Structure 1
Amino acid sequence: MAWTTNMQPNFWEWLTMVFEQGTDEQCRYFFYAFWLLWYARNQVVHERVYSTGVDLTQKVQNLVAEYEGVRAKKSLLNMVCNQRTKKTLPIINIQFDVAFDSRNYRSKTGLVVWGNTNEYLASKSFIHYDVVSPFATEAYAGLEAVELGIEMGFQEIQIQGDSLTVVKKYQSTTIDYSVIEAIIRDIQAKKLGF
């Protein structure tokens, strides 16, 4: 390692050493921390929004946890794909999953469309703002799945999500009186087209 005249390593040498000698997890933490420091700096300069060290630490931990969650879901999706090669679904399958941010009242929705011979057909993602609950987020995701099926021109679809309560409301033929009544009504009206 080259040293400058005052016997201190320069930043790039130090950073290179950290990434060469650090574990994958340590490098991820450094990457997220540097990115968040730059983001926090831009917020101070451009928006006059200040973050504390505690806030930044929590955000780094949240980013790492989100990454680990995505990696676990990808692994699960690969397992599901391998199982799909063994059995054929009779119809188009649209799977959805959501993430809800209660601090900002927004949600992220991901949709994946599988063909009737288990081939990947499409995927789509959305961000919804001003969503009041995870319950509503799941309902919006189901509505987006139905609308995607209509846009793609399918005659028959199967929608899969991980909220049993919301899925039961989709399947019901009775009038729903919950907080997601309007969304359920939209889904029930649109599913008549299949």
Structure 2
Amino acid sequence: MSGSEIAKKISAYTTELAISKVRTLTLHSSGNLQQLYKRGWTSIHFDVAYDRLGFRSASGIIARNENREILASQVVTHSNIADPFTVEAYAGLQAIKLGIRLGVNKLSVFGDSKTVIKKCQSLFTDKSVIGAIITDIQSLKKGFQEIEFIFVHKEHNFYAHTIAKESLRGGESFYLEKEIPEAVRRTVENRWPYPPD
């Protein structure tokens, strides 16, 4: 391990210690997603599909337990959305609401929008365009014993993105317990015979 790598690890560790003194909220970015599935935690992935011409969007959300079994999948469609950045924030809000609906105590929220994940993690008032949505997320965090927001790359968020994309085509919202729609299952199986880690 080089000196710069050691310095980065020490810096990341001290930052995490400082944050943990305030509240148990951490931002992870890891290539090995499987290590982030923790015992007793529910994991919710969110992503969006956005139609620029019609100003429509769909937020795709999938919840799994620590054994990676599907607890629920959901799509919320939106209209009159000006930009995809706002849609990502709405999707994060919907992910938190799904965690509340499922009645979980410990929640890991995974998203591929680094900016939205950082804003959800923050303890400060957000004054950006999506500030009102982030404020709603901040207020709902109190409903969990522990909660963390984790950035993942697109390829680790494929299920949530596929759910959103397929639902945007059909223009329908849905909520399913312990399953995903058959059209999404076929799309995923065609791309990956085995679920990605």
Q: Using the alignment, how far apart are the partners of 2:37 and 2:93 within structure 1?
A: 25
* 2:111 paired with 1:161: yes
Q: Name the CA shift for 1:87/1:174 in 2 (closer, same or farther; >3 Å).
A: closer
Q: Which runs of 5 or more structure 2 residues have no equivalent in the other structure?
A: 1-30, 145-197
Counterpart among 58, 75, 92 of residue 42 in structure 2: 92
Match of 1:191 in 2: 141
- 1:1-194 mapped onto 2 (5 Å cutoff): 84=34, 88-90=37-39, 91-194=41-144
Letter aligned with residue 171 of structure 1: Q
Q: Secondary structure at the match of 1:165?
A: helix
- Is the contact made by 1:107 and 1:127 (CA closer than 8 Å) also made in structure 2? yes
- Is the contact made by 1:100 and 1:106 (CA closer than 8 Å) also made in structure 2? yes
How far the C-alpha of 1:89 sits from its partner, in A, is: 2.4
Letter aligned with residue 76 of structure 2: F
Q: Over aligned residues, Cα RMSD in angstroms?
A: 1.8
Q: Name the CA shift for 1:164/1:88 in 2 (closer, same or farther; >3 Å).
A: closer
Q: Give the number of the structure whose residues are more often strand, by fraction.
A: 2
- Is the contact made by 2:37 and 2:43 (CA closer than 8 Å) also made in structure 1? no
Q: Using the alignment, how far apart are the partners of 2:120 and 2:131 within structure 1?
A: 10
Q: Using the alignment, how far apart are the partners of 1:89 and 1:114 within structure 2?
A: 11
Q: Which runs of 5 or more structure 1 residues have no equivalent in the other structure?
A: 1-79
How far the C-alpha of 1:163 sits from its partner, in A, is: 0.4
Letter aligned with residue 89 of structure 1: K
TM-score normalized by the length of structure 1: 0.55
For CA contacts below 8 A with separation 6 or more, give which structure has more relative contact order.
2
Q: Give the number of the structure whose residues are more often helix, by fraction.
A: 1
How far the C-alpha of 1:156 sits from its partner, in A, is: 1.2
Post-superposition Cα deviations, 1:19-72, rounded to whole Å, max 9, x if no partner, equal: xxxxxxxxxxxxxxxxxxxxxxxxxxxxxxxxxxxxxxxxxxxxxxxxxxxxxx
Q: Using the alignment, how far apart are the partners of 1:89 and 1:113 within structure 2?
A: 14
Q: Using the alignment, how far apart are the partners of 2:88 and 2:59 within structure 1?
A: 8
Q: Using the alignment, how far apart are the partners of 1:153 and 1:145 within structure 2?
A: 13
- Is the contact made by 2:57 and 2:81 (CA closer than 8 Å) also made in structure 1? yes
Q: Name the CA shift for 1:103/1:172 in 2 (closer, same or farther; >3 Å).
A: same
Which of the pair has more CA radius of gyration?
1
